[in-house]
């Protein structure tokens, strides 16, 4: 039953991504992440391999991410959501 609820929540998040709403970096696809301002395929791949994240400081600690990039992501459509 829990797996069904989690699957429904994931599907809802994916729908929100396509509607131009907030993009959760914990559930977004690599392609969706690569489309964010300041990210490329390599940084998006690094996010995917390093998640889940609970705080932006965890993202900033990754190689290739600095405070300015994290601030750009936070100011745009990206967010960290935890289940």
Q: What is the CATH number of the domain that holds 21?
A: 1.10.150
Which segments of 1-83 does DSSP mark as H helices, in order?
2-18, 30-34, 41-50, 56-60, 67-75
Half-sphere exposure of 3 (CA within 13 A, CB side): 0
User: Which residue in 4, 6, 5 sits closest to 52, CA to CA?
Assistant: 6
Strand partners, 20: none
Number of domains in the chain: 1
Per-residue pLDDT of the chain (83 residues; tens, 9 = 90+): 333 334 334 444 444 444 557 899 999 999 999 999 899 999 999 999 999 999 999 999 999 999 999 999 999 889 998 76
- Return the pLDDT at 20: 59
Look up the pTM and report it: 0.72
Domain limits for position 25: 2-79
Residue 62 tokens read as 């990754």
- Return the pLDDT at 82: 78
CB-count exposure of residue 36 (10 Å: 0-12, 13-18, 19+): buried
């Amino acid at each position: 039953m829990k797996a069904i609820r989690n699957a429904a929540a994931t599907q809802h998040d994916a729908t929100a991504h396509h509607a131009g709403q907030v993009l959760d970096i914990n559930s977004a696809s690599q392609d969706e992440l690569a489309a964010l301002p300041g990210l490329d395929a390599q940084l998006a791949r690094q996010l995917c391999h390093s998640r889940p994240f609970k705080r932006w400081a965890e993202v900033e600690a990754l190689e290739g991410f600095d405070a300015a990039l994290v601030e750009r992501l936070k100011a745009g459509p990206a967010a960290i959501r935890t289940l």
